[in-house]
Amino acid sequence: MPRESKRHKILEAAALIVHKRGIDALTLDAVAEEAKVSKGGLLYHFRSKEALVEGLVLHMNNLYRSNVENAVQEDINQNGKWTRAFVKATYDQSLKNTETSAGMLAAQGINPDLLKPLQQTYANWQENIEADGLDPVKATILRLAVDGLWFSEIFSLAPLDEKLRKQVVDALLEQTYPKKEDK
């Protein structure tokens, strides 16, 4: 599947540019150069800068959604599984994937309507989190807390060292399991 591989390479290059140099540096020429493809090759996959950013958002949305849904399916504990899956996927995503934040940042700067697929995914997750068998307010606070952790890293707003970061995520996850006295 060489086309998808080249497409993915282009998306990774675009994400890297946004992540390292900002959205203003995101040009088709810069992406073609970073991806080591011709501009024609890039245009074959993405006809415009907006199409490239839309591709970034859709790729990120699909990857993120898949990670959350897989974690939900693997969780043997019914109550809190969506909240746990969201916390785990957000933690894992921010550790290894610049495409996630790059797609969001680029879309917000170029055309906020491109965020609609991600907004719909989040709306669905919120519905699932509210019906997760946990107190809906508590579950929502956990979702917002892990989003805050992720955003602090995206914008370098006092990001945590790895040890503290893991302890924070573990504490969030602990809140998704019933207390022993509740059993």
pLDDT 10s digits, 98-156: 556 777 777 887 888 988 999 999 999 999 999 999 999 999 999 999 999 988 887 78
Short-list 141, 140, 152, 145, CA closest to 168: 145
pLDDT for the residue 152: 85
pLDDT for the residue 100: 60
Domains present along the chain, CATH in parentheses? 50-182 (1.10.357)
Q: What is the pTM of this model?
A: 0.81
Phi, psi at 134, each rounded to 5°: -105, 170
Short-list 118, 82, 123, CA closest to 100: 118
Which of the four pLDDT bands, split at 50, 70 and 90, describes residue 64?
Answer: confident
